[in-house]
Chain A
Amino acid sequence: MSTEYNKPLPQPQKWSQEFWKGTKDHKFLLKKCKECGHIDHPPYYYCTECMSLEHEWVEASGKGTVYTYSTTYMGAPPAFTKEQPFTLAMIDLAEGPRMLSRIVDAQPEEIKIGADVEAVFDDVTEDTTLIMFRLVK
């Protein structure tokens, strides 16, 4: 599978490796500050609220709602043109952060702002798993 995958893959920072290890095991982890409880996603070196270096990885519920979305029909970067159309979306996670992802297994006209979604794991290569979302019906 990995030899066929020619799209860009995440190049994790030292502080985000735990996230990608998690997705590989089909766990959706978020970096939570041990001092102030703030969740940083994307994660950074220290807590962007209180500068604490102490953190823990907590498992997200995988639940969220669609904040906004767009179905791309043309003009995607070259590695993605073959799979057009696809729907990108910003998801408001139940835990607070907003993340960018895709909505899969849905017709574009079924997708609405405010719709409930849940995370699914897409093993795009042997080493990398991306988190996608599908509509909760």
Chain B
Amino acid sequence: MSKAQFAIIGTGEVPCGWYPDRTPLEIASIAAYRAIKDAGINKDDIDGVLGQMAIMDNDWNTEITFGRLPEALGMKNCKTTALVSSGGASSHSIRKAAEGLLVSGYDMVLCVHSQRFSTFTPGQLAEGFAKAGCDPEWEIPYGMSFNALGAMVTQRYLYETNQTIDHVAAVCVAARKWALLQDNAMNKKELTMEQVLGSRMVSTPLTAFMCNVLADGGSAFIMTTAERAKKLVDKPVYILGEGSRYSHRNLTKAKDLTRLVTKPAADEAYQMAGLGPKDMDIAQIYASYPVFTMMIFEDMGFCPRGEAGQIFMDGHTSPGGRIPVCTNGEALSFGHTGTGVGTALLCESVRQLQGKAGRAQVPNARFLIEDCGGGAFMDVHCAVLGNEIP
């Protein structure tokens, strides 16, 4: 990819939450409908349709694989459709797949994520996520869970950086403040430090409010070349720079559990964009557990290592702060929709840069950095987006 070769021109989203009567096809249909209307394009101009893999829902994944989306959405000129996945990094992989189609001559690609968790029992979800995050031979037999993964990283990070559990709680409180401004967020009640720290212990040192909440949800976005985008919409959102790194499958194989591989990925994205952390108006960080918000914020270059917690605690990342972080409330408060957390953040990024973020709008936002990562924090993908080309 070269700088500003591609752009996103429209997004759509459904409310996040517990809606057992809303089928995955219904979620996908509503999200896609809204994205197409938002972009103001003719649906028949879309010639590629990509669906994101859902966690634990093999029937829906099969539906996408076998071509449901273009038929249901009426894409009369569709040339191809496919299922794309890489865990929480799916917003990245589906975008790269779309870029590949555009490079090879496609005109416009619709990307859709849809997930329904509410028809599973809490036990099935705990087991399903344990299998997603942990090794079946070497970790699952010990009783590993996704929360335990997040907890062990938190424990080590606090030990190495001398930050405290209060700092971790501050990240959760900040996320909630943004969710309060989002109509589609799952959690819309105010949250205090005392509530976060005083909620039930799940896996030390993480309490219940430090763990994300699974939710049904979905979102969609439309991508095309930057050249075409300029003719179609007032404010295309350009992909100005990208950087990626893969690290591991089993978390025991991560070289440094408290840094992941964010820094080289972020540096690459900044370099391609010709921008740096000081140019960013927002940081949209895929974390799912607050410790990752802290370490990724540091490695994106916004502050030295070990100082993120205080910045969150002082309100600098909250609405009205100097560097807003996760303006939709992220997995912690918007809701964890499986592979869709990053897609929701990407769509929120586009809304922010198009001036369509409603009550959560960051005034005059021009540039931002977003990231996503999959599996048991196996990879980091950073992208610098902008509504102008610097």
Binding site for B on A (CB under 8 A): 7-13, 16, 42, 67-80, 83, 86, 88-90, 97-102, 108, 113, 124, 130
Which A-B residue pairs are the 6 nearest by beta carbons?
Answer: A70-B151, A80-B143, A68-B156, A78-B123, A77-B127, A72-B203
Interface size class on chain B is 35 or more
Q: Smallest CB-CB separation from B252: which chain A residue?
A: A98
Report if B140 contacts A (CB, 8 A).
Answer: yes
Chain A CB count within 10 A is highest, among B127, B142, B200, for: B142
For B135, the chain A residues whose CB sits under 8 A away are: 42, 100
The reply to whether B140 and A8 contact each other, CB–CB distance below 8 Å, is yes
* Known A68-B155, A113-B155: A102·B143 in contact at CB below 8 Å: yes
Q: Given contacts A7-B143, A8-B141, A88-B144, is CB(A73)–CB(B152) below 8 Å? A: no
Q: Does A90 contact B143, Cβ atoms closer than 8 Å?
A: no
Q: Which of B130, B137, B156, B211 has the most chain A CB within a 10 Å cutoff?
A: B137
Knowing A68-B156, A72-B148 touch, does A77 contact B126 (C-beta < 8 A)? yes
How near does chain A come to B208, taking the closest CB pair, in angstroms?
A: 8
Task: Report chain B residues within 8 Å CB of A68.
Answer: 152-153, 155-156, 159, 257
A90 to B250, CA, bound (A): 11
Which of chain A's residues have a CB closer than 8 A to the CB of B137? Answer: 10-13, 16, 42
Residues of the A chain whose Cβ atoms lie less than 8 Å from the Cβ of B252: 90, 97-100
Chain B residues near A113 (CB-CB < 8 A): 155-156, 159
Residue contact A7 to B141, C-beta cutoff 8 Å: yes
Question: What is the chain A residue whose CB lies nearest that of B147?
Answer: A75
Considering the complex, give the chain B residue whose CB is closest to the CB of A88: B148
B92 to chain A, nearest CB (A): 25
In the assembled complex, B204 has its CB within 8 A of some CB on chain A: yes
Task: Specify the main secondary structure of chain A where it touches its partner.
Answer: mixed
| A-chain residues with CB within 8 Å of residue B1 when the two chains form the complex | none
Q: How far is the CA of A130 from the CA of B135 in the complex (A)?
A: 15
30 pairs of residues in contact across A and B, judged by CB atoms under 8 Å: A7-B143, A8-B136, A8-B140, A42-B137, A42-B250, A68-B159, A68-B257, A70-B151, A70-B155, A70-B205, A72-B143, A72-B145, A72-B147, A73-B202, A76-B143, A76-B145, A77-B126, A77-B140, A78-B126, A88-B144, A88-B152, A88-B203, A90-B152, A98-B252, A100-B135, A100-B252, A101-B142, A102-B143, A113-B155, A130-B142
Q: A8-B141, A88-B148, A100-B142 are in contact. Are A76 and B126 (CB under 8 A)?
A: yes
Which residue of chain B has its CB nearest to the CB of A71? B204
Contact present for B148 and A77 (CB under 8 Å): no
Which residues of B are found within 8 Å of A71, using beta-carbon distances?
203-204
Give the CA-CA distance A99 to B141 in the complex, in Å: 13
Q: Give Cα A94 to B290, complex, Å.
A: 31
The interface centre, meaning the residue of A9, A68, A130 with most chain B CB atoms within 10 A of its CB, is A68
Contact with A along B139-174 (1 / 0, CB 8 A): 111111101100111011001000000000000000
Q: Is there contact, CB below 8 Å, between B141 and A9?
A: yes
Chain B residues in 8 Å Cβ range of A130: 141-142
Closest to B206 in A: A70
Q: How far is the CB of B120 from chain A (nearest CB, A)?
A: 12
**Shortest distance in angstroms between B139's beta carbon and chain A's nearest beta carbon?**
5
Partner of A88, one of B136, B143, B201, B211: B143
- What B residues does A12 contact at CB under 8 A? 137
Tell me which residues across on chain A come within 8 A of B204, comparing CB atoms: 70-71, 73, 108
Instruction: Give complex CA distance A103, B147 in Å.
Output: 18
> B211–A75 contact, CB under 8 A?
yes
Q: Which residues of A contact B142 (CB under 8 A)?
A: 88, 100-102, 130
Measured between alpha carbons, how far is A90 from B137 in the docked complex, in Å?
Answer: 15
Contact assessment for B156 and A73 in the assembled complex, using a CB-CB cutoff below 8 Å: no
Cβ of A67 to closest chain B Cβ, rounded Å? 7
> Once the chains are docked, how many angstroms separate the CA of A11 from the CA of B257?
27
- Inter-chain contacts of B200 with A (CB < 8 A): 73-74
A83 touches B203 (CB 8 A): no
Cross-chain contact B136 with A11 (CB below 8 angstroms): yes
Report the minimum CB–CB distance from A73 to chain B (whole Å). Answer: 5
How far apart sit A42 and B251, CA to CA, in the bound complex (Å)?
11
Chain B 249-261, CB-CB to A under 8 Å as 1, else 0, gives 0111100010000
B residues in contact with A77, CB < 8 Å: 123, 126-127, 130, 140, 143, 145
